[in-house]
Protein backbone atom coordinates (compact mmCIF):
# COMPACT_ATOMS: atom_id res chain seq x y z
CA UNK A 1 0.00 0.00 0.00
CA UNK A 2 1.18 3.51 -0.78
CA UNK A 3 -0.11 6.87 0.36
CA UNK A 4 -0.68 9.91 -1.84
CA UNK A 5 1.04 13.19 -0.96
CA UNK A 6 0.11 16.30 -2.93
CA UNK A 7 1.75 19.67 -2.34
CA UNK A 8 0.84 23.07 -3.76
CA UNK A 9 -1.05 21.68 -6.73
CA UNK A 10 -2.34 24.45 -8.99
CA UNK A 11 -4.01 24.74 -12.38
CA UNK A 12 -5.48 27.69 -14.26
CA UNK A 13 -7.39 27.72 -17.53
CA UNK A 14 -6.95 30.91 -19.54
CA UNK A 15 -5.75 32.72 -16.43
CA UNK A 16 -8.74 31.57 -14.35
CA UNK A 17 -7.68 29.36 -11.41
CA UNK A 18 -9.45 25.97 -11.30
CA UNK A 19 -7.30 24.57 -8.47
CA UNK A 20 -5.35 26.88 -6.15
CA UNK A 21 -2.32 25.46 -4.39
CA UNK A 22 -3.97 22.43 -2.83
CA UNK A 23 -2.19 20.15 -0.33
CA UNK A 24 -3.67 16.70 0.16
CA UNK A 25 -2.51 13.60 2.02
CA UNK A 26 -4.29 10.30 1.50
CA UNK A 27 -3.06 7.71 4.00
CA UNK A 28 -2.25 4.24 2.58
CA UNK A 29 -5.36 2.10 2.16
CA UNK A 30 -7.82 4.89 3.01
CA UNK A 31 -10.77 6.33 1.15
CA UNK A 32 -10.57 10.11 0.84
CA UNK A 33 -13.34 12.15 -0.75
CA UNK A 34 -13.06 15.40 -2.67
CA UNK A 35 -16.49 16.95 -2.16
CA UNK A 36 -17.83 20.23 -3.49
CA UNK A 37 -20.30 21.90 -5.82
CA UNK A 38 -20.03 21.61 -9.58
CA UNK A 39 -17.13 23.63 -10.99
CA UNK A 40 -15.09 23.81 -7.75
CA UNK A 41 -12.10 21.99 -9.28
CA UNK A 42 -12.58 18.38 -8.15
CA UNK A 43 -12.17 16.77 -11.58
CA UNK A 44 -9.22 19.00 -12.40
CA UNK A 45 -7.56 17.79 -9.19
CA UNK A 46 -8.22 14.15 -10.01
CA UNK A 47 -7.08 14.53 -13.64
CA UNK A 48 -3.80 15.98 -12.43
CA UNK A 49 -3.38 13.02 -10.05
CA UNK A 50 -4.16 10.63 -12.92
CA UNK A 51 -1.80 12.46 -15.27
CA UNK A 52 -4.28 13.72 -17.86
CA UNK A 53 -3.90 17.37 -16.92
CA UNK A 54 -0.50 18.94 -16.37
CA UNK A 55 -0.30 21.08 -13.22
CA UNK A 56 1.01 24.66 -13.42
CA UNK A 57 2.74 24.12 -10.07
CA UNK A 58 3.04 21.60 -7.29
CA UNK A 59 3.96 17.96 -6.83
CA UNK A 60 2.25 14.57 -6.58
CA UNK A 61 3.82 11.55 -4.90
CA UNK A 62 2.51 7.99 -4.74
CA UNK A 63 4.47 6.54 -1.83
CA UNK A 64 8.12 7.38 -2.56
CA UNK A 65 7.53 7.84 -6.30
CA UNK A 66 7.25 11.40 -7.60
CA UNK A 67 4.72 11.02 -10.42
CA UNK A 68 4.21 14.72 -11.19
CA UNK A 69 5.82 14.50 -14.64
CA UNK A 70 5.00 10.86 -15.34
CA UNK A 71 2.77 9.66 -18.20
CA UNK A 72 -0.66 8.42 -17.03
CA UNK A 73 -0.08 4.78 -17.99
CA UNK A 74 3.11 4.65 -15.92
CA UNK A 75 1.49 5.91 -12.71
CA UNK A 76 -0.20 2.58 -11.92
CA UNK A 77 -3.53 4.23 -11.10
CA UNK A 78 -6.94 2.61 -11.63
CA UNK A 79 -9.52 5.00 -13.03
CA UNK A 80 -13.29 5.12 -13.04
CA UNK A 81 -14.34 8.35 -14.70
CA UNK A 82 -17.77 9.49 -15.89
CA UNK A 83 -16.68 9.73 -19.49
CA UNK A 84 -14.35 6.74 -19.44
CA UNK A 85 -16.74 4.19 -20.91
CA UNK A 86 -16.19 0.47 -21.42
CA UNK A 87 -14.96 -0.57 -24.85
CA UNK A 88 -18.20 -1.48 -26.64
CA UNK A 89 -16.69 -4.05 -29.03
CA UNK A 90 -15.07 -6.09 -26.24
CA UNK A 91 -16.76 -8.53 -23.89
CA UNK A 92 -16.89 -7.85 -20.17
CA UNK A 93 -13.96 -10.24 -19.61
CA UNK A 94 -11.92 -8.64 -22.41
CA UNK A 95 -12.53 -5.19 -20.94
CA UNK A 96 -11.21 -6.33 -17.57
CA UNK A 97 -8.31 -8.27 -19.15
CA UNK A 98 -7.10 -5.41 -21.32
CA UNK A 99 -4.95 -3.66 -18.72
CA UNK A 100 -3.35 -6.99 -17.80
CA UNK A 101 -2.50 -7.82 -21.42
CA UNK A 102 -0.90 -4.41 -21.82
CA UNK A 103 1.22 -5.26 -18.78
CA UNK A 104 2.15 -8.60 -20.41
CA UNK A 105 0.77 -10.79 -17.63
CA UNK A 106 0.85 -14.53 -18.51
CA UNK A 107 -2.43 -15.76 -20.07
CA UNK A 108 -3.35 -18.19 -17.27
CA UNK A 109 -2.79 -15.50 -14.64
CA UNK A 110 -4.96 -13.09 -16.62
CA UNK A 111 -7.84 -15.56 -16.72
CA UNK A 112 -7.57 -16.12 -12.99
CA UNK A 113 -7.35 -12.39 -12.18
CA UNK A 114 -10.30 -11.49 -14.44
CA UNK A 115 -12.40 -14.15 -12.78
CA UNK A 116 -11.42 -12.93 -9.33
CA UNK A 117 -12.20 -9.28 -10.14
CA UNK A 118 -15.54 -10.08 -11.73
CA UNK A 119 -16.29 -12.08 -8.58
CA UNK A 120 -15.46 -9.05 -6.42
CA UNK A 121 -17.99 -6.91 -8.29
CA UNK A 122 -20.44 -9.84 -8.51
CA UNK A 123 -20.40 -9.95 -12.32
CA UNK A 124 -18.92 -13.40 -12.98
CA UNK A 125 -21.92 -14.72 -14.88
CA UNK A 126 -21.79 -11.76 -17.31
CA UNK A 127 -18.19 -12.32 -18.45
CA UNK A 128 -19.01 -13.05 -22.09
CA UNK A 129 -21.59 -10.29 -22.60
CA UNK A 130 -20.84 -7.01 -24.32
CA UNK A 131 -21.40 -3.70 -22.50
CA UNK A 132 -24.59 -2.86 -24.43
CA UNK A 133 -26.16 -6.03 -22.99
CA UNK A 134 -25.71 -4.69 -19.44
CA UNK A 135 -27.65 -2.25 -17.27
CA UNK A 136 -26.03 1.01 -16.15
CA UNK A 137 -25.19 -0.42 -12.74
CA UNK A 138 -23.66 -3.53 -14.24
CA UNK A 139 -21.52 -1.45 -16.61
CA UNK A 140 -20.37 0.62 -13.66
CA UNK A 141 -19.34 -2.52 -11.79
CA UNK A 142 -17.38 -3.77 -14.80
CA UNK A 143 -15.66 -0.39 -15.02
CA UNK A 144 -14.66 -0.82 -11.39
CA UNK A 145 -13.41 -4.37 -12.04
CA UNK A 146 -11.35 -3.04 -14.96
CA UNK A 147 -9.87 -0.31 -12.75
CA UNK A 148 -8.78 -2.69 -9.96
CA UNK A 149 -7.74 -5.70 -12.10
CA UNK A 150 -4.07 -4.77 -12.41
CA UNK A 151 -3.82 -4.02 -8.66
CA UNK A 152 -3.15 -0.32 -9.07
CA UNK A 153 -1.31 1.54 -6.33
CA UNK A 154 -4.13 4.07 -6.21
CA UNK A 155 -7.75 4.09 -7.30
CA UNK A 156 -9.24 7.32 -8.67
CA UNK A 157 -13.01 7.61 -8.95
CA UNK A 158 -14.75 10.64 -10.50
CA UNK A 159 -18.51 10.71 -9.81
CA UNK A 160 -18.60 6.94 -10.44
CA UNK A 161 -22.27 6.60 -9.52
CA UNK A 162 -23.68 9.70 -11.19
CA UNK A 163 -25.35 7.88 -14.08
CA UNK A 164 -27.23 5.44 -11.86
CA UNK A 165 -30.72 5.69 -10.40
CA UNK A 166 -31.16 6.36 -6.69
CA UNK A 167 -31.59 2.77 -5.49
CA UNK A 168 -28.64 1.46 -7.50
CA UNK A 169 -26.48 4.33 -6.26
CA UNK A 170 -27.06 3.26 -2.67
CA UNK A 171 -26.34 -0.42 -3.46
CA UNK A 172 -23.15 0.50 -5.34
CA UNK A 173 -21.94 2.71 -2.49
CA UNK A 174 -21.77 -0.30 -0.22
CA UNK A 175 -20.09 -2.37 -2.96
CA UNK A 176 -17.37 0.23 -3.47
CA UNK A 177 -16.66 0.45 0.25
CA UNK A 178 -16.48 -3.35 0.49
CA UNK A 179 -14.08 -3.60 -2.46
CA UNK A 180 -11.82 -0.81 -1.25
CA UNK A 181 -11.68 -2.47 2.18
CA UNK A 182 -11.02 -5.94 0.76
CA UNK A 183 -8.19 -4.75 -1.48
CA UNK A 184 -7.02 -2.07 0.98
CA UNK A 185 -6.55 0.28 -1.91
CA UNK A 186 -5.61 3.96 -1.51
CA UNK A 187 -8.55 5.76 -3.09
CA UNK A 188 -9.57 9.30 -4.02
CA UNK A 189 -13.29 9.57 -4.71
CA UNK A 190 -14.70 12.75 -6.29
CA UNK A 191 -18.36 13.67 -5.87
CA UNK A 192 -20.79 16.54 -5.35
CA UNK A 193 -23.12 14.17 -3.43
CA UNK A 194 -22.84 14.72 0.33
CA UNK A 195 -24.59 11.44 1.17
CA UNK A 196 -22.00 9.46 -0.80
CA UNK A 197 -19.23 11.25 1.03
CA UNK A 198 -20.80 11.05 4.51
CA UNK A 199 -21.65 7.36 4.17
CA UNK A 200 -18.36 6.13 2.68
CA UNK A 201 -15.45 8.40 3.50
CA UNK A 202 -12.63 7.90 5.95
CA UNK A 203 -11.84 11.53 5.34
CA UNK A 204 -13.50 14.33 3.37
CA UNK A 205 -11.83 17.33 1.75
CA UNK A 206 -14.35 20.00 0.82
CA UNK A 207 -13.47 22.27 -2.09
CA UNK A 208 -14.96 25.56 -3.20
CA UNK A 209 -13.77 27.72 -6.10
CA UNK A 210 -10.49 25.81 -6.39
CA UNK A 211 -9.65 26.01 -2.67
CA UNK A 212 -9.87 23.48 0.13
CA UNK A 213 -12.26 25.04 2.67
CA UNK A 214 -12.38 22.30 5.32
CA UNK A 215 -11.19 18.74 5.85
CA UNK A 216 -12.05 16.09 8.41
CA UNK A 217 -14.01 12.93 9.07
CA UNK A 218 -17.69 12.88 8.04
CA UNK A 219 -18.68 13.44 11.67
CA UNK A 220 -16.26 16.33 12.19
CA UNK A 221 -17.55 18.14 9.11
CA UNK A 222 -21.21 17.52 9.89
CA UNK A 223 -21.00 18.40 13.58
CA UNK A 224 -18.32 21.10 13.47
CA UNK A 225 -18.67 22.94 10.16
CA UNK A 226 -16.32 25.93 10.08
CA UNK A 227 -18.44 28.09 7.77
CA UNK A 228 -22.01 28.75 6.66
CA UNK A 229 -21.07 27.15 3.34
CA UNK A 230 -19.93 23.85 4.90
CA UNK A 231 -22.89 23.76 7.32
CA UNK A 232 -25.31 24.09 4.40
CA UNK A 233 -23.41 21.87 1.98
CA UNK A 234 -23.18 18.90 4.37
CA UNK A 235 -26.85 19.00 5.38
CA UNK A 236 -29.81 21.16 6.25
CA UNK A 237 -29.34 23.79 8.91
CA UNK A 238 -30.80 26.86 10.61
CA UNK A 239 -28.56 29.94 10.77
CA UNK A 240 -29.15 32.45 13.56
CA UNK A 241 -27.12 35.60 14.26
CA UNK A 242 -26.14 36.40 17.82
CA UNK A 243 -23.99 38.53 20.15
CA UNK A 244 -21.49 36.82 22.41
CA UNK A 245 -22.19 37.55 26.11
CA UNK A 246 -19.33 35.63 27.68
CA UNK A 247 -17.75 32.29 28.35
CA UNK A 248 -19.99 29.37 29.32
CA UNK A 249 -17.63 26.71 30.56
CA UNK A 250 -14.61 25.11 28.99
CA UNK A 251 -13.86 24.01 25.43
CA UNK A 252 -14.98 27.05 23.47
CA UNK A 253 -18.49 27.08 24.97
CA UNK A 254 -19.91 30.61 25.09
CA UNK A 255 -23.22 32.24 25.94
CA UNK A 256 -24.81 33.90 22.89
CA UNK A 257 -27.79 36.29 22.86
CA UNK A 258 -29.97 35.67 19.81
CA UNK A 259 -33.50 36.54 18.64
CA UNK A 260 -34.53 32.97 19.58
CA UNK A 261 -33.20 33.29 23.15
CA UNK A 262 -29.91 33.17 25.00
CA UNK A 263 -28.14 29.94 24.07
CA UNK A 264 -24.92 28.23 24.94
CA UNK A 265 -22.91 27.41 21.85
CA UNK A 266 -19.63 25.95 20.67
CA UNK A 267 -17.78 28.89 19.10
CA UNK A 268 -14.10 28.49 18.16
CA UNK A 269 -11.94 31.19 19.71
CA UNK A 270 -11.03 32.71 16.36
CA UNK A 271 -14.72 33.48 15.73
CA UNK A 272 -15.62 34.42 19.30
CA UNK A 273 -13.24 37.41 19.21
CA UNK A 274 -15.51 39.23 16.74
CA UNK A 275 -18.24 39.68 19.37
CA UNK A 276 -21.01 38.64 16.99
CA UNK A 277 -21.39 35.21 15.44
CA UNK A 278 -23.61 33.11 13.18
CA UNK A 279 -24.90 29.94 14.86
CA UNK A 280 -25.75 26.77 12.94
CA UNK A 281 -28.42 24.52 14.48
CA UNK A 282 -29.45 21.45 12.51
CA UNK A 283 -33.19 20.63 12.33
CA UNK A 284 -32.68 17.26 14.04
CA UNK A 285 -30.61 18.79 16.87
CA UNK A 286 -33.75 20.32 18.41
CA UNK A 287 -36.15 17.95 20.20
CA UNK A 288 -39.74 19.03 20.11
CA UNK A 289 -41.51 18.84 23.48
CA UNK A 290 -45.16 19.43 24.32
CA UNK A 291 -47.05 20.34 27.51
CA UNK A 292 -45.18 19.79 30.74
CA UNK A 293 -42.39 17.64 29.27
CA UNK A 294 -39.02 18.46 30.82
CA UNK A 295 -35.87 19.00 28.81
CA UNK A 296 -32.94 16.86 29.89
CA UNK A 297 -30.49 18.55 32.22
CA UNK A 298 -27.83 20.40 30.28
CA UNK A 299 -30.10 21.31 27.37
CA UNK A 300 -31.20 24.83 26.50
CA UNK A 301 -34.89 25.37 25.79
CA UNK A 302 -36.38 27.53 23.03
CA UNK A 303 -40.10 28.39 23.14
CA UNK A 304 -41.68 28.35 19.68
CA UNK A 305 -44.99 28.23 17.81
CA UNK A 306 -45.64 25.72 15.05
CA UNK A 307 -46.47 27.40 11.73
CA UNK A 308 -46.67 24.37 9.45
CA UNK A 309 -45.94 20.66 9.41
CA UNK A 310 -45.21 18.12 6.69
CA UNK A 311 -45.93 14.62 7.99
CA UNK A 312 -43.90 11.83 6.32
CA UNK A 313 -44.60 8.87 8.59
CA UNK A 314 -41.12 8.17 9.92
CA UNK A 315 -40.44 11.88 10.41
CA UNK A 316 -42.28 15.18 10.43
CA UNK A 317 -40.78 18.45 9.19
CA UNK A 318 -42.02 21.41 11.20
CA UNK A 319 -41.61 25.07 10.54
CA UNK A 320 -41.78 26.99 13.78
CA UNK A 321 -41.70 30.71 14.60
CA UNK A 322 -39.70 32.22 17.44
CA UNK A 323 -38.64 35.81 17.98
CA UNK A 324 -39.66 36.72 14.40
CA UNK A 325 -37.45 33.96 12.99
CA UNK A 326 -38.54 30.78 11.18
CA UNK A 327 -36.76 27.58 12.18
CA UNK A 328 -36.95 24.13 10.62
CA UNK A 329 -37.28 21.29 13.12
CA UNK A 330 -37.17 17.57 12.40
CA UNK A 331 -39.23 15.26 14.60
CA UNK A 332 -38.62 11.52 14.39
CA UNK A 333 -41.42 9.00 15.03
CA UNK A 334 -44.11 11.73 15.17
CA UNK A 335 -46.94 10.16 17.15
CA UNK A 336 -48.91 13.27 18.12
CA UNK A 337 -50.50 15.31 15.31
CA UNK A 338 -49.10 18.86 15.24
CA UNK A 339 -51.35 21.84 14.55
CA UNK A 340 -50.46 25.36 13.42
CA UNK A 341 -50.47 27.77 16.36
CA UNK A 342 -49.44 25.08 18.84
CA UNK A 343 -46.95 26.24 21.47
CA UNK A 344 -43.98 23.90 21.83
CA UNK A 345 -40.58 23.81 23.45
CA UNK A 346 -37.40 22.91 21.60
CA UNK A 347 -34.61 21.37 23.65
CA UNK A 348 -31.13 21.65 22.20
CA UNK A 349 -27.83 20.45 23.53
CA UNK A 350 -25.28 23.32 23.60
CA UNK A 351 -22.66 21.31 21.75
CA UNK A 352 -25.04 21.09 18.79
CA UNK A 353 -25.21 24.88 18.50
CA UNK A 354 -22.11 25.74 16.49
CA UNK A 355 -20.57 29.08 15.58
CA UNK A 356 -19.66 29.29 11.88
CA UNK A 357 -17.79 31.85 9.82
CA UNK A 358 -19.78 33.95 7.38
CA UNK A 359 -17.35 33.28 4.56
CA UNK A 360 -15.32 30.11 4.02
P1 LIG B 1 -15.75 19.97 -10.88
O2 LIG B 1 -15.23 18.64 -11.28
O3 LIG B 1 -15.59 20.28 -9.42
O4 LIG B 1 -17.15 20.19 -11.32
P5 LIG B 1 -13.79 20.99 -12.77
O6 LIG B 1 -12.49 20.61 -12.19
O7 LIG B 1 -14.31 20.17 -13.88
O8 LIG B 1 -14.87 21.10 -11.60
O9 LIG B 1 -13.71 22.49 -13.27
C10 LIG B 1 -13.17 23.53 -12.47
C11 LIG B 1 -13.17 24.82 -13.29
O12 LIG B 1 -12.24 24.71 -14.35
C13 LIG B 1 -14.49 25.14 -13.93
O14 LIG B 1 -14.67 26.52 -13.89
C15 LIG B 1 -14.32 24.64 -15.34
O16 LIG B 1 -15.13 25.35 -16.23
C17 LIG B 1 -12.85 24.87 -15.61
N18 LIG B 1 -12.30 23.87 -16.54
C19 LIG B 1 -12.17 22.55 -16.32
N20 LIG B 1 -11.58 21.92 -17.35
C21 LIG B 1 -11.33 22.89 -18.28
C22 LIG B 1 -10.74 22.89 -19.59
N23 LIG B 1 -10.26 21.76 -20.15
N24 LIG B 1 -10.63 24.06 -20.23
C25 LIG B 1 -11.08 25.21 -19.65
N26 LIG B 1 -11.65 25.28 -18.45
C27 LIG B 1 -11.78 24.14 -17.75
MG1 LIG C 1 -16.25 17.03 -12.24
> What DSSP string runs through 142-207?
HHHHHHHTT--SEEEEESTTTTS-HHHHHHHHHHHHHHHHHHT-EEEEEES-HHHHHHH-SEEEEE
User: In ligand 1, which atom is closest to the CA atom of 38?
Assistant: 4
Spatial neighbors of 181 by CB under 8 A, at least 6 apart, are none
pLDDT for residue 161: 87
Is 92 in the same domain as 31?
yes
- Shared domain for 149 and 248, answered yes or no, is no
pLDDT at 55: 98
CATH number at residue 210: 3.40.50.300
Tell me: do 73 and 60 sit in the same domain.
yes
DSSP 99-128: HHHHTT--HHHHHHHHHHHHHHTT-GGGTT
Could you count the other beta carbons within 10 Å of the beta carbon of residue 74? 10
Rounded to the nearest whole angstrom, what is the distance from the C-alpha of residue 206 to the centroid of ligand 2? 14
Burial label for 289, CB within 10 Å (0-12, 13-18, 19+), is middle
Same domain, 219 and 264: no
Q: Are residues 239 and 172 in the same domain?
A: no
Largest CA distance in the chain: 76
Top mutation candidate among 14, 16, 18, 193 for ligand 1, by most atoms within 8 Å of CB:
18
Q: Which residues contact 108 (CB under 8 A, 6 or more apart)?
A: none
Atom number, ligand 1, closest to the C-alpha of residue 47? 6
| Minimum CA distance residue for ligand 1 atom 13 | 39
If asked whether residues 89 and 181 sit together in one domain, one would say yes
Same domain, 46 and 178: yes
Final residue of a domain: which of 206, 223, 240? 223
30: CB partners within 8 A, 6+ apart = 186, 187, 202, 203
Which numbered ligand comes closest to the C-alpha of 53?
Answer: 1
- For residue 176, the model assigns a pLDDT of 87
User: Do 59 and 145 share a structural domain?
Assistant: yes
CB neighbourhood size of 310 (10 A):
10
- Distance from residue 42's CA to the centre of ligand 2 (Å): 6
CATH number at residue 255: 2.40.50.100
User: Within the chain, which residues score under 70 in pLDDT?
Assistant: 83-84, 359-360
Same domain, yes or no, for 184 and 238?
no
DSSP string for 238-260: EEEEEEEEEE-SSTTEEEEEETT
Atom of ligand 1 nearest to the CA of 158: 2
Q: What tens digit of pLDDT does each residue of 235-262 get?
A: 999 999 999 999 888 789 999 999 999 9
Final residue in a domain of this structure, among 195, 223, 251: 223
Q: Using the mean position of ligand 1's atoms as its centre, give its distance from the Cα of residue 18 in Å.
A: 6
Instruction: Please check whether residue 151 is in contact with residue 143, taking contact to mean a CB–CB distance below 8 angstroms.
Output: no
| Residues at Cβ < 5 Å from ligand 2 ion | 43
What is d(CA 181, CA 30) in angstroms, rounded to the nearest whole number?
Answer: 8
Give residue 275's domain range: 228-356
Question: What is the rounded distance in angstroms from the CA atom of residue 256 to the CA atom of residue 271?
Answer: 12
| 107 in the same domain as 32 | yes
Nearest Cα residue to atom 20 of ligand 1:
44
Pocket of ligand 1 (CB under 6 A): 13, 18, 36, 38-44
Mutating to test ligand 1, I would choose from 15, 17, 37, 39 the residue with most ligand atoms within 8 A of its C-beta, which is 39
Report the candidate in 350, 293, 302, 298 with the shortest Cα–Cα distance to residue 329. Answer: 302
Query: How many domains is the chain partitioned into structurally?
Result: 2
pLDDT at 360: 54
If asked whether residues 172 and 313 sit together in one domain, one would say no
Same domain for 219 and 236, yes or no, is no
Ligand closest to 83 (CA) is: 2
The last residue of a domain, from among 180, 204, 223: 223
Amino acid sequence: MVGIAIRGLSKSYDGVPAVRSVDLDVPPGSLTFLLGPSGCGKSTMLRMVAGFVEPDAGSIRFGDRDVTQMAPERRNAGLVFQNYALWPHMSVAQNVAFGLEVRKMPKADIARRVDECLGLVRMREYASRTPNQLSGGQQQRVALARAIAFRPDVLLLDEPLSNLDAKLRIDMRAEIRRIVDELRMTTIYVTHDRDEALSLADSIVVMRSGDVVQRGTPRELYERPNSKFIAGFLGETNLVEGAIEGAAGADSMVQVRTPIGSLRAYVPESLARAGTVTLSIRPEAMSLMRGAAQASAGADVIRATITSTTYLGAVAHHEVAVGGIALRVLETNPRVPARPGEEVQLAVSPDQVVGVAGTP
